[in-house]
């Protein structure tokens, strides 16, 4: 999707629980930045994910710190505390309304996993969300993203042109797998930045 106007900045919003962040997320953000001509990518770790109330999620400040360290050396990446500092469940609609106020006139591209996006029509104010931002649905190789998009357009014609897919081979890495490896005492080297690995070790995160 090429940039047609130089007047508007294009901001990628990398939303996720990032428990923990890994190279799959970083490659997805960088690939989206290049393929969609984004001026920058803003990482927004969820504070209190509404869809994970029954799961144990690592405290928001620790997930935030891991993301901060992971993106530290990339001038095109930034991080926001908006969802960490907001009380209550982190609804994407609240974040998008705030970003629209903070960055008027900018085009927003919400980058997230296709599996997460499959639930989009159950998110709070889904119609308004789709009006406020484009979506970039990042998928692992072998994951049928096109089928999901075709179905979504058939059932909800208004999403046509609003959701774009992006296959990211590095997303074969997953947070779930990293947590499972740590519980089994296995190595996670080279799956995420070394600073993040050392932070996880120093904080004793994800132990069995
Ligand atoms: P999730 O359900 O934990 O993730 C689903 C899949 O997508 C996982 O395979 C995950 O891989 C991958 N994924 C998640 N974020 C990604 C990203 N930025 N880039 C590439 N792959 C990604 O999803 P989540 O992380 O909790 O939520 C994703 C976003 O959707 C967040 O911003 C969240 O706030 C938003 N959301 C909003 C609502 C709502 O407003 N009601 C409801 C649900 C989700 P890993 O496990 O390896 O990360």
From edge to edge, which strands make up the β-sheet containing 163-167? 77-79, 40-45, 10-16, 107-113, 134-139, 163-167
Between CA 32 and CA 129 the distance in angstroms is 19
Could you identify the atom of ligand 1 that is nearest to the CA of residue 123?
Answer: 41
User: Contacts for 96-99 with beta carbons within 8 Å, 24 or more apart?
Assistant: 96/129, 96/132, 96/133, 97/132, 99/11, 99/13
Between CA 208 and CA 206 the distance in angstroms is 6
Task: Determine the distance separating the centroid of ligand 1 and the alpha carbon of 116, expressed in angstroms.
Answer: 5
CA angle (81, 87, 90) in 5-degree steps: 70
Q: Is 31 in the pocket of ligand 1 (CB under 6 A)?
A: no
Mean pLDDT of 111-132: 91
pLDDT at 69 over 60: yes
Q: Is 80 in the pocket of ligand 1 (CB under 6 A)?
A: no
Lowest-pLDDT choice from 74-78, 89-93, 155-159: 155-159
Query: What is residue 121's predicted lDDT score, i.e. its pLDDT?
Result: 87
Q: Is 45 in the pocket of ligand 1 (CB under 6 A)?
A: no
In whole angstroms, how far apart are CA 145 and each of 51, 114, 127, 140? 21, 7, 20, 9
Over the stretch 27-40, which tens digit does the pLDDT of each residue have?
999 999 999 999 99
- Give the confidence band of 2 by pLDDT, cuts at 50, 70, 90: low
Running DSSP on this structure, what letter comes out for residue 170?
Answer: G
Q: Which of 13, 16, 22, 137 to mutate to test the pocket of ligand 1 (most atoms within 8 A of CB)?
A: 16
- Give the confidence band of 115 by pLDDT, cuts at 50, 70, 90: confident
- What is the rounded average pLDDT for all residues in the chain? 91
Q: Which residues pair with 45 in a beta bridge?
A: 16
Q: Which residue has the higher pLDDT, 129 or 146?
A: 129
Q: Is 134 in the pocket of ligand 1 (CB under 6 A)?
A: no
- Tell me the domains of the chain and their CATH numbers: 10-173 (3.40.50.620)
pLDDT at 175 over 90: yes
Task: Determine the distance separating the centroid of ligand 1 and the alpha carbon of 90, expressed in angstroms.
Answer: 12
Between CA 139 and CA 148 the distance in angstroms is 11
């Amino acid at each position: 999707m090429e940039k047609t106007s130089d007047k508007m900045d294009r901001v990628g919003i990398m939303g996720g629980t990032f428990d923990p962040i890994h190279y799959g997320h970083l490659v997805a953000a960088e690939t989206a930045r290049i393929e969609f001509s984004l001026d920058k990518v803003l990482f927004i770790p969820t504070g209190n994910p509404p869809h994970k109330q029954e799961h144990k999620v690592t405290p928001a400040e620790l997930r935030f710190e891991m993301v901060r360290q992971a993106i530290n050396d990339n001038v095109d990446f930034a991080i926001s505390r908006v969802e960490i500092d907001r009380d209550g469940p982190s609804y994407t609609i609240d974040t998008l309304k705030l970003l629209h106020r903070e960055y008027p006139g900018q085009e927003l591209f919400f980058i997230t996993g296709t599996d997460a996006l499959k639930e989009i029509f159950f998110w709070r104010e889904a119609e308004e969300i789709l009006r406020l931002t484009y979506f970039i649905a990042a998928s692992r190789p072998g994951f049928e993203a096109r089928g999901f998009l075709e179905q979504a357009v058939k059932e909800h014609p208004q999403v046509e042109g609003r959701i774009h897919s992006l296959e990211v081979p590095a997303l074969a890495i997953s947070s779930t797998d990293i947590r499972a490896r740590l519980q089994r005492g296995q190595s996670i080297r080279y799956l995420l930045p070394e600073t993040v690995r050392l932070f996880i070790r120093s904080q004793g995160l994800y132990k069995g």
